[in-house]
Amino acid sequence: MTLGHAGAVSNLTPAQPACQPPLTTRVCSRELQSKVIPSAVLFPFLSLYFKEFQFHSSISQQPETSSHESIRFELSLVLIRSCSSKSILIASIVVSDAVIDIETIFMWEFRPKWFPLANPLSTYAATYFKGDRMETPFQSVLTFKEVTKQLALNHLSLPISGVPFDLLSDKPQKLSDALPEKHQEHAIFPPRGWNSYDSFSWTISEEEFLQNVEIISKRLHGHGYKYVVVDYLWYRRKVEGAYTNSLGFDVIDEWGRMIPDPDRWPSSRGGKGFTEIATKVHRMGLKFGIHVMRGISTQAVNANTPILDTIKGGTYEESGRLWQAQDIGLRERACAWMSQGFMSVDTKLGAGKAFLRSLYEQYAEWGVDFVKHDCIFGDDLDVDEISIVSEVLKNLDRPILYSLSPGTSATPTMAKDVNSLVNMYRITGDDWDSWGDVASHFNVSRDFATANMVGAEGLLGKSWPDLDMLPLGWLTDPGSNQGPHRTCNLKLDEQRTQMTLWSMARSPLMFGGDLRKLDKTTYNIITNPTLLEINAFSTNNMEFPYIIGTKDLSSSNRVLPWRTRSLKDVGTSDARVLGLISCRDHKTNGWVIEAIDQDLERVCWKDNFGSKYKPPFCLYKRKPLSASDEEIFYKQQYQGKLYLLATDNMEFCLDASPNRKLTSKELRSYSLSPCKWNANQMWELNLNGTLVNSYSGLCATVETVKANVESGGIRSWIATGRRGEIFVSFFNLSPEKMVISAKISDLAKALPGRNLINASCTYREVWSAKDYGVTKYSISAEVDTHGCALFVLNCS
């Protein structure tokens, strides 16, 4: 069968001019009962029943290394209008090996108006065709405008490539004409792609990047991986003395904006920035992304570069003066873990807003589709800058996906302040290839799912809690000056556990390994079709509590109830952990003042306060040091703020945020450093008992965390599929092999509207590919230490 070139529009005219009935009869459902239909059968059928048939196609060639993979022609959404103009049929179709697989189908009828949700064709026919008429138990009535919007959303369905299609009316028109791109909803599914950080740290070059991009376009794009992101310090010269927190090695333009290092990115010379890179990425059908830091660079402030006014042109002018970098840079709000590199800008100033606008408008001019904004969330929260950047992105002529990083100490309450402003946001520290990092994600992913943050409102679309990249395959080390040089430290079971949790929690999937050394095992993990289906389309995703685990296969008495499982961080002793959370959280108002004498006071956390057996957690108050001439400007802003010290005679003050990036498994214990004029050390004790940090605006809490306890216990997640199937995953976090079980009748407790009493379920396990047959009572699996099992159940 010949389809023609990608993007070509094919027209099939009916063999007979006579107008046939619309596709609402029993004969139609009988003709299309099978999901896989030979093209020789389908095309004459379409010609017989429909006057117009138009589609766009895209070609995705799979790698030749796998014998079972072949060239796939992916037809985006096919819209077919019956010649009676009373119904429209839309299907997403995959052509492979001379057959057409109709994966998803929609139908919309003008009278009466209805629009069912996506269903596979066989389910559609079996459900809605009863006898000689169609029954329509539909949930809502949609206008034509709403329908076109729904088509736009489902057009992004994976694995169908992002190819535009025609809307047929009296005069064919493109969807983009009916629904401009900037007004389509963004991030309708968790974003998926590749990021250079885990494999290259900051050292990646143009050649290395494009080599990885080409492999993604050939091997991963067909599986929905479409964003390719250059991580941090692409503007830093790779010369002796340069490292992650060095000063004076960055390349900036005359307006103080970062531009690519021309030695590593030669196509950027001549002021081109990333324009040529983005063009090459787009030609391969992918989306281009970059990493950026908060605010403005220290180098630009030291150089006192002028601020560009992108609206009027030239240097920003206000109140009769020209504004420069030193007018907007807040040195006392330098990024806690890259203090030499970047600082916040004063967003209350028009010049501060103008600088941020000039940054992101330049990224849009380069062709950037994705921005990862770092040192801006979690412990480093800056809601003002996030809000301004979000507004700039909203008003651009082209969409840019907005991502926040990192997420150390992130909570759902904190996220609710920003989720509507962004499309994805990290909820942990950096995730690397250690079991402790993987295990640390179970609690936080549960909490965000429980708070209904998964797929909540986002910037021009939806937003997604981000569990961080997948550090699998060929990697480097955190903060290294070296590129990829080692294999992933996670065992195979641990890698599968990570991919399964990320998918069940519907986290964005950003692969981090060097694709030039992508091995078959890693490829099979990150392209597992069931997991990608769960990640993109599942609903009701949550931790499932109704499970039991047994250590000894020979004894049914050694049962560990779900409630006894534990997840603790490993350390040398019990640790008091200073946490920073949203001040709206009721747990923050626990600080009190204790007077030692008339000149000395302590600020104490209320737990154990007044106890003679357990000392309270206390810090000594001290007023800020006398400001130097350089710091006089900031003194008024921090009037009334205080330092907190461990003893009454030390010169070391409490830091709110650590001075290095933490991995997700690390305890966030408090740290002390020499006292200085820095918002990270400035605190304010309010009358309501909250202790607010001036750097992030977050409030302090104190928790005691047990140590020397190995991560253990069992976990489970549950979700429902778009075809009615049930997904259940078991996770064994303990150091011993476990048998984990769940009752079929208990599954309904987590699934609204499902009655599984006396249900009969067929089920299979994904990783072992084992078909378990039929069960009415329970599902069970023997799960190795740090491993998982993933079941797909179809119940009736």
Convert the pLDDT of each residue in 260-287 to its tens digit: 999 999 999 999 999 999 999 999 999 9
CA atoms within 13 A on the CB side of 671: 14
pLDDT band at 209 (very low <50, low <70, confident <90, very high): very high
pLDDT of amino acid 415: 96
pLDDT band at 655 (very low <50, low <70, confident <90, very high): confident
- Phi, psi angles (nearest 5°) of residue 310: -75, -15
Strand (E) or helix (H) holding 228: strand 227-230
Question: Is residue 416 a contact partner of residue 425, using CB atoms and an 8 Å limit?
Answer: no
Tokens found for residue 276: 């040529």
Per DSSP, the residues of 323-386 read -BHHHHEEEEEE-TT-TTTEEEE-TTSHHHHHHHHHHHHHHHHHT--EEEEESSSGGG--HHHH
Mean pLDDT of the chain: 76
Per DSSP, the residues of 146-182 read HHHHHHHHHHT-TTS-----EEPSSS-EEHHHHS-GG
Contacts of 779 (CB under 8 A, 6+ apart): 728, 741, 742, 744, 761, 763, 772, 791, 793
Residue 540: left if φ>0, alpha if ψ -120 to 50, beta else—which one?
A: left
In Å, how far from its chain's centre is CA 295?
22
The separation between the first and the last C-alpha atoms of the chain, rounded to the nearest angstrom, is: 39
Closest to 507 measured CA to CA, from 442, 561, 583, 552: 442
pLDDT of amino acid 704: 66
Strand (E) or helix (H) holding 91: strand 87-96
**Higher-confidence position of 383 and 81:** 383
Q: Is the pLDDT score of 236 beyond 50?
A: yes
Dist CA 373 CA 360 (whole Å): 11
Question: Is residue 55 a contact partner of residue 62, using CB atoms and an 8 Å limit?
Answer: no
Closest to 370 measured CA to CA, from 278, 506, 462, 502: 278
pLDDT of amino acid 9: 30
Closest to 393 measured CA to CA, from 537, 244, 292: 292
Closest to 580 measured CA to CA, from 702, 416, 426: 702
Tell me the angle at which helices 275-283 and 206-215 cross, rounded to the nearest 10 degrees: 20
Q: Which of 171-180, 260-269, 293-302, 391-400 has the lowest mean pLDDT?
A: 171-180
pLDDT of amino acid 182: 52
Question: Is residue 497 a contact partner of residue 787, using CB atoms and an 8 Å limit?
Answer: yes
- Widest CA span of the chain, in angstroms? 100
pLDDT band at 688 (very low <50, low <70, confident <90, very high): confident
Q: Give 581's DSSP letter.
A: E
Find tokens 């400007």 and name the residue: 633
Dist CA 483 CA 216 (whole Å): 19
Closest to 414 measured CA to CA, from 175, 264, 579, 283: 579
Q: Which of 293-297, 323-327, 461-465, 744-748 has the lowest mean pLDDT?
A: 744-748
pLDDT of amino acid 139: 28
Q: Is the pLDDT score of 661 beyond 80?
A: no
Q: Could you report the per-residue pLDDT of 9-25, keeping only the tens digit for each?
A: 333 333 333 333 333 22
**% of the chain exceeding 90 in pLDDT:** 53
Q: Could you report the per-residue pLDDT of 774-788, keeping only the tens digit for each?
A: 999 999 999 999 999
For the chain, domains (ranges, CATH) are 26-183 (no CATH), 192-537 (3.20.20.70), 548-566+710-795 (2.60.40.1180), 575-705 (2.80.10.50)
Strand (E) or helix (H) holding 780: strand 778-783
CA angle 509, 505, 394 (to 5 degrees): 60
Find tokens 């997948």 and name the residue: 470
Cβ atoms within 10 Å, residue 510: 28
Find tokens 């009373």 and name the residue: 86
Question: Is residue 521 a contact partner of residue 494, using CB atoms and an 8 Å limit?
Answer: no
CA angle 768, 710, 743 (to 5 degrees): 45
Q: Could you report the per-residue pLDDT of 95-149, keeping only the tens digit for each?
A: 333 333 333 333 333 333 333 333 333 333 333 333 333 333 322 233 333 434 4
DSSP-based three-state secondary structure for 781:
strand
* Its pTM surpasses 0.85: no
- Name the CA radius of gyration of the chain, rounded: 29
pLDDT of amino acid 649: 66
